[in-house]
Chains A and B, each alone.
Chain A
Amino acid sequence: MSAPSTRGIRTWRSWLAQLSTYAILLIAGIVVLVPFILAFFGSFKTAEDFFTYPPRLLPNVAATADVNGEQLPLFTVPLPEGGTADLARVENGTSLREFIGVDDPSIVLIAPADSVTATGTTVTVDGEDKEVFTATIGGASVTVFDNKSRIGGTYVDPADPAAPPVFAVSSAVTAVEEVEFQTGNYSKVMQLEGFGRSLTNTVLVTILVVVGQVFTSILGGYAFSRLRFRGRDKIFLLYLGSIMIPFVVLLIPLYRLMIAIEWGNTLTSLVIPFVFTAYGTFLMRQFFVTIPKELEEAAVIDGASRWTVLWKIFFPLSIPAIATLSTFSFLYAWNSFVWPLIIIDSGNTDGSVLALTLSVLGGRAADTPNLVLAGVITAMLAPVTVFLLAQRYFVENVASSGLKG
């Protein structure tokens, strides 16, 4: 709990305590970060790559090779003489036959019918008469019988396409894969469901909400902290009480109000009602009361107006509080979902915001999970960056006020 004593000799117990502390924290950190890491790599996969089991971390694609100017898929193919090779598939659905060694049944040759020479004799296997042929495997001649018909592929060595091809059934080959990042997913998702437009809409709405909220909160906080007027403390109490009221209660009346004043389905409805917040006013007021009165008195004696005092003296002193409030309102505005869901029509891709478009995209997770994750990563970039930059203010403030935007 307290810092380990440096005076005493470190015993193995304190080492163990330190080790287990780090181990548990690390495990928790992994639990937190793994979904983000999976999403990050997932956003670079192809859609087909999601449907393989077991799931893989890195984005894989089927490898191809150039054969006579054509890009053909590569497969690991078993060779008749033993061993395997990575070969390009020139034809799929070739009619093949399965030949089995007459003397040694462990020899199985998959080859087209015209690649072997008929001997004219037959052999009886399991009570059935089978034709016997002579085949050449790895330069040696082998006597085989024709077991049954198979469908497979024709494979050639991309380095030497003129060499005799190798034949194999599909179940015997495995596709050669290589790691490749599909960076195109990000430009693709921008075209999807108006995602690009909702990104810029979200930026615009967030900027307006943050600036508006900071502005009204500074004015209100100043009035509550520095100017005396009748009823001030009662109104402040009202503001405080309103912080406890869940937004859920406001959903329906605010929706009806927006419809009544014809603001429904507009970006304005995402901005103006959220510019006035009791929480922000409270935060600024709490900060302003800690600023010593002497600082402004000199300016007031010099004849400065209250407006000047507020912007020239209070504003620069309150940068930490303003940073906290901005971060709060930024995260709130950027991530807000329920209100846009209600007020923006579902078909209005031009008026949508990120959280809303993401949820629509999420409905397509079945066919294009890669694009969904690319959208998710894009949408998360801004709030996570802002949080990491501002976390010095933000985490401390959450710690002291216990409130969330």
Chain B
Amino acid sequence: MSATTVDGTALLSLPGRILRPPVRVSILIVVIWHVVAALAFAWIAYNIFGAVWKLDSLPRTIIGIGASVGIVANLGAAVLLVRSNRRGRMASFTVNYLTLIFVIVLLFQSLDLASYLDDFAASFNQAFLPFIGLAIAVAWIVVARRLKARLTDSARADAPPALLTIATAMRWIGLAAVVLFGLAWLWLLKPLDLLRVLGDAFAADAAVNTAYVIAIVALLWCVITMWSARMADRFDASADALEAQSGWLFLSPNLIGFLLFFAGPLVFSLVISFYEWDGITSPTFVGFGNYIETLGISIASTADALPSGYEDILTAPFGVIGASDPLFWRSISNIVVFLVLAVPLAVIPALILAVLIQTGYRGTKAFRTIFFVPAVAGVIGVTLIWKQMLNSTVGFVNWFIGWVNGIINMFVPGDPMPQPVEIGWLSDPSVALFAVVLVFGWSQFGFNTVLFTAGMQGIPKELHEAAMLDGAGSVRRFFSITLPSLRATTFFVVASTVILALQLFDIVYALNQPNPVGFPDNATLTPVVYLYQLGFQQDAFGQASAVAWILFILIFSLTLVQFRRQRRYAEET
């Protein structure tokens, strides 16, 4: 295309030519950008290290290191590009890509988009009915499409044409509903108001936000340019290098999120467990102090002989055991009792029911689905149902006990139990934990049943058939074939139930509302409830983190044992 002809095509391709200048010019622009970025990072570093910005030590260190890395990385990328080094493209791409994400985060924070979602939620609430309509209409279309697909299926060529017309009509009705509800939804969402809120947020700090937007556009351009095939050619990138680059790019959203919201906090949690910290003043390093404080145990002949700061928690034949943190040990003893009761309740019925489901009688598989429902219905919901049923005066549980008791009284002579029975499931410290056990076992056994049925599918049928020919009854076969073959599954089920039970919190919290957690009289104080108290009611973040790590080590060692056992079984079979 000649530059002198000013025709339509030339005009149309103009933006393309500006966005895609020749390779040499593109590289020059990217190099200039890197220098600009390095200068911007240098300005940040100056403000940090020159103490122009007053910040706490932790963000100061993080931003300082980040800015320094930014200077070095940008200058390095620029140098590599200028020298046409093969690694230049990759370096420039990486630096610009990470900076791009960083600036997007800055803009996100500057516009306060985190609270913007709450504004959107308000509109979403106002526009909820058409939204439901929209969802139903979409589901309707999916059903209609399936119906039509089934009717036009070659195997059913004899389908009456009237049905086909109905299916087509259903689709059109669905489409019309989608359009109608979609428009109503958009109208009620008040998009203009939402845009105005965003505009106000932008205008609140217009200069900075504009700078961010310009930086984002520039970075995007640099990133896309460096990604392009012609740049790959120019820098002689190998196929392997290109694949690796794609790999990192595809993984990046996940990996960045993983580092920011998982790995980073995890490390922070470990570090902070060695500090005393109330979340406001700066943390004080205490070494293993939090762990010693939490786990500290001392044995003396009498309660008075215990070192100061220790309270007696148990009297043994050899003396008195004192703990520096009696509440922690209370939570441990509670959870041990809980495990001893709740794990069998959640495992043994599951095993029996799995055996019955696997008999293969018609319809037994449906029970697997029914048993699973409590595990998906939401812990808080099912706990509140049980809370009502466990009511001491008018609850169904006590009524049922009274009813059964009445039947027993008819046949068994002796003093009858009082009628009506009034067990204080939620308020009596001696039974409160049993209520939790009941709810946990009830909501968990269906999940374990599914695990057991899966384990049983692995047992060869021939084993049972051979045993049947030998005249072994079903009970005999259960103990000599099913149970031994299920060793690995049983161990897995028990271990995962224990791990889940160790983290018990929701049920206890919901059963006790509005009483303080651990009610009554710390009878339901579990380690996580204790952690919650420490961290979020007493602001003892250091000690709460120590409790979290102690719990984690407990859970982790169980998981490790389970993995070892599983591997051993796998090798045996």
Contacts and interface: CB of A to CB of B under 8 A. Distances in A.
A402 B451 contact: yes
Given A1-B477, A380-B378, A399-B450, A252 B272 contact: yes
A327 B453 CA distance: 21
A17 interface: yes
A298 B378 CA distance: 46
A123 interface: no
B545 A252 contact: yes
A342 interface: yes
A146 to B, nearest CB: 38
Interface in A365-405: 365, 369, 372-373, 376, 379-380, 383-384, 387-388, 391, 395, 398-400, 402, 404
Interface string B114-144: 1101101110110010010000000000000
B360 interface: yes
A250 B262 contact: yes
Contacts of A363: 513-514
A276 B253 contact: yes
Interface stretch (A112-120, A124-132, A174-182, A263-271): A263-271
Interface in B456-502: 457, 461, 464-465, 468, 474, 477-478, 481-482, 492, 496, 499-500, 502
Contacts of A223: 246-248, 250-251, 254
Interface in B72-93: none
B28 interface: no
Interface in A56-88: none
Contact of A228 (B118, B244, B261, B559): B244
Contacts of B367: 25, 28-29
B364 A21 contact: yes
A281 interface: yes
A220 B254 contact: yes
A227 B250 contact: yes
A252 B388 contact: no
A138 B56 CA distance: 94
Interface stretch (A93-101, A102-110, A148-156, A197-205): A197-205
Contacts of B264: 253, 257
A347 interface: no
B501 to A, nearest CB: 12
Interface stretch (A158-166, A240-248, A289-297, A315-323): A240-248
B370 A281 contact: no
A224 B385 contact: no
Nearest to B355: A1
A235 B251 contact: yes
A261 B125 contact: no
Interface in A2-61: 2-4, 17-18, 21-22, 24-25, 28-29, 31-33, 35-36, 38-39, 42, 50-55
For chain A, which range describes its interface: under 10, 10 to 19, 20 to 34, or 35 or more residues? 35 or more
A256 B355 contact: no
Contacts of B352: 24
Contacts of B265: 250, 253-254, 257
A7 B544 CA distance: 65
A249 B266 contact: yes
A384 B385 CA distance: 15
Given A55-B396, A228-B247, A248-B531, A253 B266 contact: yes
A278 B451 CA distance: 22
For chain B, which range describes its interface: under 10, 10 to 19, 20 to 34, or 35 or more residues? 35 or more
A395 B385 contact: no
Contact of B360 (A2, A239, A281, A341): A2
B509 interface: yes
B400 to A, nearest CB: 9
B384 A220 contact: no
Contacts of B179: none
A267 B247 contact: no
Nearest to B128: A200
Contacts of A24: 352-353, 356
Nearest to A20: B356
A143 interface: no
Contacts of A91: none
A280 to B, nearest CB: 9
A245 B506 contact: no
Contacts of A362: 380, 383-384, 387, 510, 513
30 contacts: A2-B468, A3-B359, A32-B374, A53-B393, A53-B420, A55-B396, A197-B121, A200-B128, A219-B251, A220-B250, A227-B243, A246-B499, A249-B552, A250-B266, A251-B535, A254-B265, A276-B256, A337-B509, A350-B121, A355-B378, A355-B380, A359-B384, A361-B384, A373-B385, A376-B384, A395-B369, A398-B450, A398-B454, A399-B457, A402-B496
Interface of B: 59, 109, 112-115, 117-118, 120-122, 124-125, 128, 131, 240, 243-248, 250-251, 253-258, 261-266, 268-269, 272, 279, 349, 352-353, 355-361, 364, 367-389, 393-396, 399, 420, 442, 446-447, 450-451, 453-454, 457, 461, 464-465, 468, 474, 477-478, 481-482, 492, 496, 499-500, 502-503, 505-506, 509-510, 513-514, 528, 531-532, 535-536, 541, 544-545, 548-549, 551-552, 555-556, 559
Interface of A: 1-4, 17-18, 21-22, 24-25, 28-29, 31-33, 35-36, 38-39, 42, 50-55, 196-197, 199-201, 203-204, 215-217, 219-220, 222-224, 227-230, 232, 235, 238-239, 242, 244-257, 259-263, 266-269, 271-273, 275-276, 278, 281, 306, 310, 331, 334-335, 337-338, 341-342, 350-351, 354-355, 358-365, 369, 372-373, 376, 379-380, 383-384, 387-388, 391, 395, 398-400, 402, 404
The 6 closest A-B pairs by CB, nearest first: A276-B257, A399-B454, A363-B514, A227-B247, A253-B265, A220-B254
Given A228-B247, A350-B121, A402-B454, 17 more contacts: A2-B461, A17-B359, A21-B359, A35-B442, A38-B389, A38-B396, A55-B399, A216-B253, A227-B246, A229-B244, A244-B559, A250-B262, A255-B535, A261-B114, A335-B378, A369-B388, A395-B450
